[in-house]
Amino acid sequence: MSEQGERLQKVLARAGFGSRRACEEVIAAGRVAINGRIAELGQRVDPTEDVVEIDGLPVDLRTDLVYLALHKPVGVVTTARDTHGRSTVLELVPSEPRVFPVGRLDRDTSGLLFLTNDGAFAERVSHPRFEVPKVYVAEIRGRVSPSQRKALEAGVELEDGTARAQKVRVRAASAGRTVIELTVREGRNRLVRRLMDTLGLGVLSLKRTAIGNVGLERLRPGHHRSLTRAEVIDLLRSGNA
């Protein structure tokens, strides 16, 4: 056991993993590892050198990491700077510490967007190979036929390969419009709009309502909140390893 650093339960509590007592219980249950070995109560850890895992997932114990959930409005671009003078998502969050968007939402799409200064988190949530589920609600001009819905779930051939929605649910329908909810596990650019265009479905509006188990809930357009530590861990567990 290393004599350097601070006691593990203190470091975990300071990083937002719960009270010190709760962190002691997680350690006692054998759920925490340091440098690949199961941790012990009272063990010391150096957050800048040691690799700490909870339930097999690496966790960063730095206290300067930021994880934000933003409700991006329509008309705002997902970039740090826009050469055309349009509003960007960085104008809607604090300037310090500096964060960057996790993935993208196009200018005409609203909804949930994460911003962070944790590159490993961004990679885990946005890279296509991890298949973290993302839920979109689309308002479509006219009706969506059973064959179109089936095609969305079975797979549609796009110019960069076949893509599909894991789940499609009709939320409302009338003669003039249909509201559908789609769950996708890919991160390709403008994927949902491209699926709709290929099937001849005119999109009136598109909103991303959830990423993993984190939803928009009551977050208003243009507003943001910090993700909880539990939400960050849950997102790291989402999708495929």
Q: Which residues are designated catalytic? A: 106
**Region of residue 90 (left: phi > 0; alpha: psi -120 to 50; beta: else):** alpha
Q: What burial class does residue 154 get, using C-beta atoms within 10 Å of its C-beta: 0-12 exposed, 13-18 middle, 19+ buried?
A: exposed
Contacts of 189 (CB under 8 A, 6+ apart): 104, 106
**Alpha-carbon span 177 to 161, nearest angstrom:** 29
Pairing of strands 224-226, 156-158: unpaired
**CA dihedral sign of residues 75, 216, 225, 126:** negative
Residue 3's φ and ψ, nearest 5 degrees, are: -95, 0
